[in-house]
A and B are shown apart, each in its own frame.
Chain A
Amino acid sequence: MTESIVLARPQVLSELGQATLRRLMRAWFEFERRMARVPIIQRLDNATFTREDYQRLLLNLRPQVVEGSRWISRCASSFDRDRADIRSVIIGHAHDEHRDYEVLEQDYVASGGSLDTIRARQRNPGSEALHCYLMYRAGETNPVGLLGAMWIIEGLGEKMANNWAARIEELTGVGENCTRFLRYHGSNDDSHMDKLYGLIDRVCTSDEVADDILRTAAVVSRLYALQLEEIDVD
């Protein structure tokens, strides 16, 4: 794929771009704190996370992952001709991830679960809310605010790979053949994050856009945490 935007972090150039990046970093840190208060993540931190927890995590992530490339590709198609360069970056992103759910399913099976069970699993209320919100926003013309959604979700991919995968193996005894989604998704998201940093300058043309990006990041942050909170509800 040829990209017209090749900007590696931390080369965010404009003043508004830098101010937005500062706000996005704070939104990310707030998301990390929010995540740290979710029961299943607390178990990961306090070393009581079990293999059953890991299976529940995968079961509850799959419906959102399988729909993930839908909102991203819908988002790409909503960018008009004046923003074709943005569209290209996002199409690439959708293409990279559109079969990630298959890796997740294999991890679930490798950890002792059945393929039928994970495929039959419906979205939990948090996933439902997250999915509907993303699909709705992706249908709007030039949905620049979704950069905030990608910021949170891709950032989480890095976190899964860097913090979760090894910890889960250590606590549950599952092998690397069970955490390929977390690891692969994360290493891929590292390059996605670089592209996002590049997009900030391209997309942040006014305070209104910056506010929209931050508001979207805040909503996605809340709904993503809700999705993981629901694991302990059902």
Chain B
Amino acid sequence: MNAFVTSTGSFLPGPPIGNDEIEAILGRVEGKPSRLKARILKANGIRTRHYAIDKSHRTTHSNAQMAVEAARTCMAHSPLPLRAVGLLSCATTQGDLVIPGFGSMVQAGLGIPEVELHTTHGICSSSAMAIRAAVNTLRLGDQSSALVVVSELASRLFKNTRYEAAGGHEAMDFNSEFLRWMLSDGAGAWLLESEPKGRCLRVDWIRSYSHADSFPVCMSIGHPTDPGDARTWQDFGTYAEAEAAGALLIRQDVRLLEHIVKLGVDGALRLIDEGLLDTNRLNHLLCHYSSHHFRSKIFDMLEMCGARVADEKWYTNLYTKGNTGCASIMIMLDDFLREGRARPGETILCMVPESGRFNVAYIHLTVVDAA
């Protein structure tokens, strides 16, 4: 039993937003321009991104709506009728509703009857978990098709009013502001089927390595600003108190970020040892690095031990489509295929390092032409 990616699609809300337009949309905290913005944007290398909120902070597309748009685009490229999809496997970092699961909302939006439903929870690597569930279901023979839909709506977290409610500039530091200049919105979808169709991608293997046992939380929402306060957001009397204490801000402990680079390389070396990965024979590397800064670090470390992945094999759309968290790898593969870069017999490694509490996922694909 096998699994093949037979179609892909993506959706990005609104027009591309340049670096000088970001603050006009997200808003200036207490009316003052950010002092960190230029530095963070220079390091991540992102030039344009998309937001599902407008200047007046109205949501133009809900998270589920973006997911539905991406799924429809994906299915429009496939002869398989939407109603025939066997499994709907969805992921997001934060749905529009806290409960029920994101998949339910996406199913309702798509109108697929009696589908088997799966929702994964996490940050960037939740996409790989949703793909893993789809691949397993097809390999077991329980279904013959699985639609993986992954969407991210981060911008609502970055409105100036969120930071003002948590104490404004006085309560903000590098860690609480960092992601404001990193993340943006978008959705991607892959259709997986147990039989190849036309030019498609065989899923050779999926592996992931999580290191939450070794390292503290690196990216999170739920901890208050005061590190001495052990409460998490639901432990406060009201959500207003939690917000005032900074427990609803998204944070990145940038001091710990270097671990994710090493763990990404560690996993790759492990896969080489297992005989699953041959960096010399690999044709394309689609790596969801969040920042250009990290790309060179991964590159150098792999090169140092003879596992070099040549420059021309690296593909990313980070700089123009932004870092859309878990949706990034989905949108990246869609763009990559649409640009006609994949030739039969070539191999593709999708790599998703998640800094949340350090999980790194790898998906190995081979381009095939169905007979």
Contacts and interface: CB of A to CB of B under 8 A. Distances in A.
Partners in one complex: yes
Interface of A: 9-10, 12, 15, 18-19, 21-23, 25-26, 29-30, 32-34, 36-37, 42, 45-47, 167
A140 B245 CA distance: 61
Contact of B211 (A10, A15, A19, A33): A33
B312 interface: no
Interface residues of B, number: 24
B218 to A, nearest CB: 10
Given A29-B263, A45-B256, A167-B255, A22 B269 contact: yes
A22 to B, nearest CB: 4
B270 A26 contact: yes
Contacts of B98: none
Interface string B292-329: 00000000110111110000000000000000000000
Nearest to B308: A10
A85 to B, nearest CB: 23
B281 to A, nearest CB: 16
Contacts of B273: 22-23, 26
B211 A21 contact: no
Nearest to A9: B304
B262 A29 contact: yes
Contacts of A33: 211, 214-215
Contact of A10 (B215, B227, B269, B303): B303
Contact of A36 (B215, B265, B304): B215
A22 B57 CA distance: 49
B305 A10 contact: yes
B344 to A, nearest CB: 30
A42 B256 CA distance: 12
A32 B306 CA distance: 22
Interface of B: 211, 213-216, 227, 255-256, 259, 262-263, 265-266, 269-270, 272-273, 300-301, 303-307
Given A26-B270, A29-B263, A33-B211, A45 B216 contact: yes
Contact of A18 (B256, B301, B305): B305
26 contacts: A10-B303, A10-B305, A12-B304, A18-B305, A19-B306, A21-B304, A21-B306, A22-B272, A22-B273, A23-B273, A25-B265, A25-B266, A25-B269, A25-B304, A26-B266, A26-B269, A26-B270, A26-B273, A29-B262, A29-B263, A33-B214, A34-B214, A37-B213, A46-B216, A46-B227, A167-B255
Contacts of A15: 306
Nearest to A11: B304
A35 to B, nearest CB: 9
B301 to A, nearest CB: 8
Contacts of B262: 29, 32
A32 B265 CA distance: 14
Contacts of B266: 25-26, 29-30
B307 A22 contact: yes
B304 A10 contact: yes
Contacts of A21: 304-306
Shortest 9 CB-CB distances between A and B: which pairs?
A18-B306, A10-B304, A33-B214, A29-B266, A21-B305, A22-B305, A36-B214, A22-B269, A45-B216
A28 B306 CA distance: 16
Contacts of A23: 273
A86 B267 CA distance: 32
A22 B272 CA distance: 9
Nearest to A25: B305
B307 to A, nearest CB: 6
A96 to B, nearest CB: 23
A36 to B, nearest CB: 5
Contacts of B270: 26
B195 to A, nearest CB: 38
Contacts of B216: 42, 45-46
A18 to B, nearest CB: 3
Contacts of B301: 25
Contacts of A22: 269, 272-273, 305-307
A22 B270 CA distance: 9
A37 B358 CA distance: 14
Nearest to B213: A37
A12 B214 contact: no
A26 B262 CA distance: 9
Contacts of B227: 46-47
Nearest to A12: B306
Contacts of A37: 213-214
Contacts of B256: 45
Contacts of B255: 167
A139 to B, nearest CB: 31
A38 to B, nearest CB: 10
